[in-house]
Structure 1
Amino acid sequence: MAEPRVPGDDPGTLELACGETVHARDIDMGMRDVRCDCGERHAVVVDVHPVSRFVPESIADVLRETIETADEFPEFGIAHVMGIVLEEFPDEVAVADVSEDGSIGYAIVWVTDFDSRRLHETVVELLVELMEHAASHGDSDTASAFEEQMLEFDVEAFVEQYREQRDFESEVDTPV
C-alpha cells in the first residue's frame, strides 16, 4: 500500500525561486533548461554533467589536478562547481538529492532561477575568481601575469564561442 505523504516532503520535488515546483522525474539528463510555468527558463544541472560543460576539458583537468577536495567526492567536479554557485546565490538555486530513487538516472539535480546561458557565464566568472585566488598564493610574477590576462578576458565572448563549439542545441554534445 502506498504511504501517505505530506505535500512538499518528496525529496524529488524542487521548490524554485520563482515559487513554482518541478519534480526530478521531469528532468532529463540531457536538459540544459527547463521551461517553467512562471514563463521563464531555468538552468538544469545534474551530477553526471562534466565540468567541461562550462569550460574546456584542459581547464577542467587543471582544476581536478590542483584542487583537493575534503568531501565524499574523490576529485573536483560538477558538485563542487554547483556548490560555489549555491554559495554565491543561495536563494536562486534549488537542489534535490534523489540518490534513493533508482529510476531517475542521476543522484543530485540543481535548478537555478536564471537560464543556462546566464548560469554558464556565472560559472565561468566564479571559476576565474577561484583561479585568481589560487594564483595569488603562488609567486608574485605568476599572480601578476594571470591578473593581467584576466583583465582582457571577456566572459560573455568566451561563453558565446564555447557554446557555439559545444553545440548546446543538440542533445549530444562533446567536450572541446
Structure 2
Amino acid sequence: MAEPRVPGGRGATLDLPCGESVKTHAFDMGMREYDCHCGDSHAVVLDVHPPSRFVPEFLVDVLRETVDTADDHGEFGTVHIMGVVMEEFPEEVASKDVAEDPDLGYAMVWVTDFDSRRLHEVVVELIVELMEHAVSHADDEDAMSRFEADMLNFDVSEFVEQYRRERDFTGPHDRPA
C-alpha cells in the first residue's frame, strides 16, 4: 500500500544543501552527523538538542538572560542558534518543520553542508559576535575593551576541540537526545 505524502508526515523529505534528498525518518534524536550518499558528512541538529551541545551551560544561561526572543519558541535555545546560522549561511543549511509527525520525537531538523565540527566552530563564532554586539550596546568602554582583549586570546578551534573532548552530555542540564 502506498504511503500518503502528508506535509511533515512519513513521506516528508528534506532536500540537503549538497543536492541529495533524504526522508526525515532517517534522522533520530541521537544523531549529530549524517553520512550522505554524496560522500560527505553533514551536521544534524534537532530542536530537542540542548544549546549546551555547543557552549557551556553557564553561557547558555547568560544568553537566555540577555537575548530577547520575540517568537513562539520561548527562551533562547537551539532553535535560535540555528536561526542565526541559517541567516549567516542560507545556502549551506536545509531545515524542515516536522512537528506534524508524532513518530519522530522532534519538531525541527537542520542539516548543514558542513560536518558537525565545522558547525560547532560556526556556532561559537556567531555567539561571540552576538556577545560582542551586546557588549557594544552597554555604553561601557571598559567592558568593551576587556571583551576585545579577551577575544584576542580566544581561539575558536582550540575551544571547540577542548569542549568536544571534555563535554559530559550526561550532566544535569542535558536532556536525552
TM-score between the two structures when normalised by the length of structure 2:
0.90
Instruction: Give the length in aligned residue pairs.
Output: 169
Distance in 1, matches of 2:15 and 2:33, equals: 16
1:2, distance to aligned residue in structure 2 (A): 5.9
Distance in 1, matches of 2:33 and 2:27, equals: 9
Distance in 2, matches of 1:23 and 1:80, equals: 24
* 3-state secondary structure, aligned to 2:90: coil
Q: Which amino acid aligns with 1:94?
A: A
Q: In 2 relative to 1, CA 112–149 (structure 1 residues): closer, same or farther, beyond 3 Å? A: same
1:23, distance to aligned residue in structure 2 (A): 1.6
Task: Indicate the residue corresponding to 1:165 in structure 2.
Answer: 166
Distance in 1, matches of 2:22 and 2:3, equals: 21
Structure 1, unaligned runs of 5 or more? none
Deviation sequence 1:16-57 (CA, Å, 0-9, x none)? 111101121110111110000000000000001111000000
Structure 2, unaligned runs of 5 or more? none
Q: Which amino acid aligns with 2:21?
A: T
Distance in 2, matches of 1:112 and 1:148, equals: 32
Divergent runs of 4+, >2 A: 1-5, 9-12, 172-176
Provide the aligned C-alpha RMSD in A: 1.8
Task: Indicate the residue corresponding to 2:157 in structure 1.
Answer: 156
Q: Which amino acid aligns with 2:131?
A: M
Task: Indicate the residue corresponding to 2:64 in structure 1.
Answer: 64
Matched, 1:107 2:117: no
1:166, distance to aligned residue in structure 2 (A): 1.9
TM-score between the two structures when normalised by the length of structure 1:
0.90
1:3, distance to aligned residue in structure 2 (A): 7.2
Distance in 1, matches of 2:109 and 2:151, equals: 31
Task: Indicate the residue corresponding to 2:30 in structure 1.
Answer: 30
Deviation sequence 1:40-81 (CA, Å, 0-9, x none)? 000000001111000000000000111111000210000000
Distance in 1, matches of 2:39 and 2:62, equals: 38
Task: Indicate the residue corresponding to 1:137 in structure 2.
Answer: 137
Distance in 2, matches of 1:23 and 1:150, equals: 41
Q: Which amino acid aligns with 1:145?
A: R
Distance in 1, matches of 2:43 and 2:7, equals: 21
Distance in 1, matches of 2:43 and 2:2, equals: 33
1:13, distance to aligned residue in structure 2 (A): 1.2
Q: In 2 relative to 1, CA 35–173 (structure 1 residues): closer, same or farther, beyond 3 Å? A: farther
Q: Which amino acid aligns with 1:130?
A: L
Q: In 2 relative to 1, CA 26–75 (structure 1 residues): closer, same or farther, beyond 3 Å? A: same
